[in-house]
Chains A and B, each alone.
Chain A
Amino acid sequence: EVQLVESGGGLVQPGGSLRLSCAASGFILKNYWMHWVRQVPGKGLVWVARMNKDGSRTDHADSVRGRFTISRDNAKNTLYLQMNSLRADDAALYYCVKDFVGTEEFWGQGILVTVSS
């Protein structure tokens, strides 16, 4: 059974940092592009970042470029999102997504990030 379990969220002050993790099971992580998508509860979806299968290529949304970094450890079957210089508008539910827009797409349950002083 495919599972994606996000962790590392919580409350952080503006300007602070968090690292989200996404533990994958039931499939081989290195065979898929992986993405992060976020959503403010009650609002729309926002694509955040993606990384290719071997980790050699990344793309980040304009709104997070230079502050967030997606990475992966295929040996540990884990995806990460390092979030620095957090702002109030980064507060959201962050989803880890396998094969986004693909036929084998799968979403985690999401992890909440709150940015507040």
Chain B
Amino acid sequence: QSVLTQPPSAFGTPGQSVTISCSGTNSNVGRDNVYWYQQLPGTAPKLLIYNDNRRPSGVPDRFSGSKSGTSASLDIRGLQSEDEADYYCAAWDGSLGGYVFGTGTMVIVL
């Protein structure tokens, strides 16, 4: 059911940067806003980025989003151990008439 494609995992050491990609189509990423979520183990997802590159209040500026065409990216700078989590992108899909999520990326801090 996932329409947006993400890499299954991403690795980094503390202090490094990690980039997670999200590939979609002109029906979703290419035409509407992209959102990014962080899900820590055993908890509900938390909105990290909205409207492609905006951060909700309280989200550290180490997290940033960008988009180009039908692809979006989440960058995590200065990786910390507490960033170890699953990350999902999401967007409205005009063809399906609903929101779609990415396949999810597990970030592992080595």
Question: A residues touching B (Cβ–Cβ < 8 Å)?
Answer: 35, 37, 44-47, 50, 59-63, 95, 100-103, 105, 107-110
Contact = CB atoms under 8 A, between A and B. Distances in A.
Interface stretch (B9-17, B66-74, B75-83, B100-108): B100-108
B47 A47 contact: no
A100 B103 CA distance: 18
A21 B46 CA distance: 22
A82 B2 CA distance: 23
A47 B50 contact: no
Given A45-B37, A61-B96, A101-B50, 16 more contacts: A35-B99, A37-B45, A44-B2, A44-B88, A44-B101, A44-B104, A45-B39, A47-B100, A60-B98, A100-B99, A101-B47, A102-B50, A105-B56, A107-B45, A109-B44, A110-B44
Contacts of B63: none
Contacts of A102: 50
Secondary structure of the B side of the interface? strand
B104 A47 contact: no
B98 A62 contact: yes
B33 to A, nearest CB: 8
Contacts of B99: 35, 47, 50, 100-101
Contacts of B37: 45
B90 interface: yes
Which size class do B's interface residues fall under? 20 to 34
Nearest to A4: B44
B50 A107 contact: no
Contact of A47 (B33, B39, B46, B101): B101
Contacts of A45: 37, 39, 45, 88, 90, 101, 104
A103 B44 contact: no
A37 B39 CA distance: 14
B96 A62 contact: yes
23 contacts: A37-B45, A44-B1, A44-B103, A45-B88, A45-B104, A46-B1, A47-B90, A47-B98, A47-B99, A61-B1, A61-B98, A62-B97, A63-B1, A95-B44, A101-B33, A101-B47, A101-B50, A102-B50, A103-B50, A103-B56, A107-B45, A107-B46, A110-B44
